[in-house]
Each structure stands twice: as C-alpha cells, then as structure tokens.
Amino acid sequence: MSLPLDPSVRAPVSLAPGWRRTALSPLAIGLFVLAACAILLSLPISLPLGPMYWDVVVYIDGGWRVLSGQIPAVDFFAPIGPLGYWLFAAGMKLFPQAQPVLLAQWMVMPITLGALLPVLQRVDRGSRALALALLLPFLVFQLLPTNLEQYSTYPSFDGYGIYNRHVAQLLYPLAVALVFERRQRVLLCVVGAICTALFLTKITGFVAGGMLCAFAFAAGRVRLRTALGALLGFAVVLGLLQLGFGLTTAYLSDIALLVSMNEGVLLSRFLQASSLHFGILASGCLLVLTLLLTERRSVLADAQALSRHPLAARGWTTLLDRNAFWLAAALFAGLFFETQNTGSQAFLFVWPILLSIACNASRHSNRGTVAVLVLVAATAMPPFVNVLHRSSRAIVGQLAYPRVPVADLKMLFSVTQRPEVLERATAMLDNYAGFPDTYRDLATRGQLPTFGLYSDLDFQASLLMTFEEAVEAVRALEAERGVRFETVMSLNFVNPFPYLLERKAPLHIAIGADPFRAVPPLDAQTLEAVRDADLILYPTCPITTSNEELKAIYADGLKGRTTVPLGRCWTGYVRAGLSGTL
C-alpha cells in the first residue's frame, strides 16, 4: 500500500503569499475551528430537538455527578466509559449555558485534532491538497451532531448515539496515522493516546481500534518497539487511574457486568448492523474484490512466496500492506463496532483508506481505474451527503421553529421544534395525566403507547415539560413544608433533577437506566444508597414498561416512604426521616 505522495518531500514553492498559505494550513484551520467552537458554546444557541434527545441528559447527569465529586464506575454505574463524563463536566464548568448537544459533540475535538494535526502537518509538506482532503471531511462529521441513521422525518439534530460518534471520530486520526504516518515516535503517541481514549470511552470502540492497530502491526506499519511503547503508555495511564481512584478495576467490573447482561445477541447484532449500513458495506466489499482482482498477479505471487517461507515477517508485510486488505480490515472493525450501536457516524474512519485508494487508482488499467473510483465514491459519498443534507435541513428548519415552552431547565432550555409537534406534546401530556389507567394497562401488556415512543419528537418535548413541572413542584413542596431534599433520584431512564435543583445524586445506582440492558441487579450497597435518597421521583406521563421495571428493581428502597403527588406527572417518595415534616 504505497502512499500517493511522499509526505517527507516538500512541495514546490507556492506563488501564493506566505500568509495565505499559512492560513490554509491544517494547523491554522484546526486552531480556528477550536476557537470558533469555544465562542459558539458561549452563546445562547438553540437546536431543533430530535429523537431520543434524552440521551444528552445522561451526559448532564454524569457531568453533574463528576462536578459533585463522584467518580464514574466507582461511585455510579454507567453504560459507557468515564472519559465522556469528565469532558462534559469540564464543558459544563467552562460553558454553563452551552447547547448540550453541541457541547457533547465537540468536547472530544481537542483529543481528535491533537492527534490528527501533527500527522497532517507532515502530510502537508508533500501535498496541501491531500492534507486538506483528510482534514475537511473529518471536520464536517466532527462539527455536525448528526448520525447516519434517521429516526425522524422532521428536521432535527441527534441528541442520541453521542458516544458512538465519539468513537468514530477517535478512530479517524488513528486510521490517518496508521495509513499516512511513517515517524514511529508520532505513531507511538497517536496510538497510545487514541487507544487510551477509546478504552475510556467505549470498550467496543477500543476493540475496533485494536483491530486496526493489530493489522497495521502485521502489515509492518507499526514496529514492535512502537507497539510496546504505546502499550506501556496505556498501562501507565490505567495504573495511575487505579492508584488514584480505584477506577480501572471498577470500570473493568462494570464492563464484565454489561457483557453478561447483553450476551447471546452478537450474531443478531451483526445482521442488524449489516442491514443498517448495507450501502457502505456492499460498496466497500465490492471495492475490496475489485482491488484484489486488479492486483491478482502480485497478490498470488506474494502469497506463494509466503507459503515457501511462512515464518518470514517480511513476507507477511509484503502480502498484507496493500489497499484491499487495509480496507477489508477497516470494514470488519467498523462492522464489529456498529453491532452495539443505535446511532453513529458509522465507518467514518474508512475515508483515509479510501482516499489512499483513490490517489493510487491510476496504477490500474483504464477500466480498472474507473471501477475503483466509482466504488470509492459509492462507499464514501452517501454518508457524507446524508449528514450534510440532514444537518442543512435542521439548520434551515431552526429558523422558523419556536422554543420548547420551558424556561427553568438551564442548558436543557436551548431546544426548538415545529409548532405542530409542541401542540401535540401539550395535548399528549393532558391525555397521559387524564387517562393513566390506559397506559398502565399497556405497560402491563409489555407495550408502549406507540411502538417508537422514545423516538417520537412530541414525547421528547413533553418530557422536558414534565421536568420543569417536577422542578416547580419540588420547590413548592420544600417551601410549603420547610424541608430540603439534598439527594434526589428518578425512576426513569434519565435523572436531570440533581443538576436542575443543584442537589446531589445518589451513589452506586445506574445512570442511563435501561432496566432491560444496563441496570445491574440490586446489591446491598446500592440498596442502602437508594434508601438514603431524600426524594425518589416516579414519572407517570405516561406510565411505561421501563419505568415500571425500574420501580420493581428498586422496590425495596421505596419501602417505608411517604408518597406525595408532585404535579400531574410525578409521584414523590419521601424518605421516612423527612416524612414527619410533610
């Protein structure tokens, strides 16, 4: 797999003024984007509310816990690694009124650009066009909070699948370095930093990154000393986290628990991921076959040479270090990662390999060149066009959308949606509150009010409205009875109330509480924390299977509490020690 241009060769002297060439360098563009993002996060920006928007509330919950002194995995159970919560907590501190989806989307940018720009600076010496071709498409995906999957036909931005987008964005500089970087010291730093970030973000992303690194090692791109150095750096970071916080073993324990709760579905998930991303996979696999066909003579010759000396490392690198096998390895790693995802910027990191293939396409016959370029475009363009199209619709739609009618939700306030959706959200709240038996009966039958309730924009809008109603009801109750609830828990997928009320969240419980996939069995430590919570909130607009299951899981922690209605959509369970004031 040869580089299209040798990045160590300096480009001819440009006729453009020096300032213009400097301004268009990858480093200048990257720094400008970082500065622009910081400014935008400081401004009161709103975005159209999208399906499953409540995923961003999980970051708010985790970030607030971190700011309150809690340690992910040690003090609370989370569906993903700690890095996202640390970064979001830092963002909450720096930009307290930031639009939360933008904050969640952009918070990994210092890591991704920090790993990418040193490599692109070297590439830029050989070809400015190649460096920008690697940087600019990445920035489109990095800046726009839009998944490839679409769960609503109305224009909106995606507040779900955020950590999956983070993994795709982290894998991108890793792929660029493995394909275009020859300096082993730079490779050591990039591989060590990105693999550590992947491990602390999502374990399946770390495995996918490990697949890429293992193939690069087998193909001779990463030397043994470099691999060992990156592994040592990774081990040092995890060792320090263990010594300082006891985090590493707690995080590994959480991973094992999540795997045990979700085992037995990997094959079906492969089929689901293949179906969702069939266009990318089909085009990519056809491209692999086309490359192998056009290079069949050299592939067969290298394979025969290897068969005569199977232990020769040079024979393996000669055979494997070609575009077809790089693309096959990347597609498999991407498919493996997507097996666990509902939303993502899937296969983003395949672009550097496709770009290398396109730059080398002229080596084939005229017919082969055309076939390769067509398949490169068929693999790369649909995701790019999809994200740009959906994001453009959301930006244009935002101009005419009113805000969701809430005012006391801090950064959760900054969302809009079309008037018809908001009217329906208000009407459905009246319906949920007026006919609870209907929804209780559906929950008993294991059914939701609509099949895709959590994707419905009106449900996500009504959820924000109920958050505000609960906050107002809790404050009114405290003022009326002269009590203060210091620790607040929610029997729901999300718990924004410690953040909104500026209180504490109970230790040891699960956040992002999907009772069927991500809530471990109740143990003595967690039960004690639940019993110590001053106030536990249960939502009833509408009653759902998940909330009923959460109520059953934590039932022992509800015993002996005083039940208090909090507005029309929430029931409060007050700790016995405080009930005397109620």
Cβ neighbours around 79 below 10 Å, total: 18
Tokens of 222: 């990463």
* Residues in the chain, pLDDT under 70: 1-18, 263-268, 579-582
Q: For 110-114, which contacts have Cβ atoms below 8 Å and span 24 or more sequence positions?
A: 110/34, 111/170, 111/193, 111/194, 111/197, 112/138, 112/142, 112/169, 112/170, 112/172, 112/173, 113/30, 113/33, 113/34, 113/173, 114/193
Model pTM score = 0.94
Contact 158, 146 (CB under 8 A): yes
| Cis amide bond preceding 542, omega within 30 | yes
Alpha-carbon span 326 to 379, nearest angstrom: 15
The reported pLDDT for the residue numbered 517 is 87
Q: Strand, coil or helix: what is 488? A: strand
Break the chain down into helix, strand, coil percent, rounded to 5. Answer: 65, 5, 30
Which is it for strands 562-566 and 570-574: parallel, antiparallel or unpaired?
antiparallel
The reported pLDDT for the residue numbered 524 is 95
CA Rg value for the chain = 26
Cβ neighbours around 205 below 10 Å, total: 30
The reported pLDDT for the residue numbered 272 is 79
The reported pLDDT for the residue numbered 11 is 43
Alpha-carbon span 474 to 565, nearest angstrom: 10
The reported pLDDT for the residue numbered 266 is 60
User: Residue 60 burial by CB count (10 A; 0-12/13-18/19+): exposed, middle or buried?
Assistant: buried
Alpha-carbon span 479 to 101, nearest angstrom: 33
The reported pLDDT for the residue numbered 275 is 81
* Contacts with 148 (C-beta within 8 Å, 6 or more apart), sequence order: 277, 343, 344, 345, 346, 383, 386, 387
Alpha-carbon span 102 to 158, nearest angstrom: 10
Q: Strand, coil or helix: what is 487? A: strand
Polymer length in residues for the chain = 582
The reported pLDDT for the residue numbered 4 is 46
Would you list the domain boundaries of the chain?
18-43+108-393, 423-579
Q: How far apart are the first and last CA of the chain?
A: 73
The reported pLDDT for the residue numbered 9 is 40
E strands, 439-543, are 488-490, 535-539
Tokens of 393: 């619709």
Alpha-carbon span 302 to 550, nearest angstrom: 58
Residue indicated by tokens 């504490």 = 504
List 487's β-bridge partners, or say none.
504
* Sequence-ordered alpha helix ranges (H) in 95-223: 100-106, 109-126, 128-143, 162-180, 184-199, 203-218
Tokens of 488: 């607040």
Sign for the pseudo-dihedral over CA of 220, 131, 2, 170: positive
Alpha-carbon span 498 to 487, nearest angstrom: 7
Nearest alpha-carbon partner for 510 in 481, 546, 475: 546
Alpha-carbon span 285 to 352, nearest angstrom: 16
Residue indicated by tokens 């924000």 = 464
Q: Strand, coil or helix: what is 161? A: coil
The reported pLDDT for the residue numbered 13 is 43
Residue indicated by tokens 């909130």 = 537
Contact 146, 273 (CB under 8 A): no
Alpha-carbon span 392 to 424, nearest angstrom: 25
The reported pLDDT for the residue numbered 362 is 79
Nearest-10 crossing angle of helices 184-199, 162-180? 160
E strands, 366-495, are 415-416, 488-490
Alpha-carbon span 382 to 385, nearest angstrom: 5
The reported pLDDT for the residue numbered 14 is 46
Alpha-carbon span 151 to 52, nearest angstrom: 9
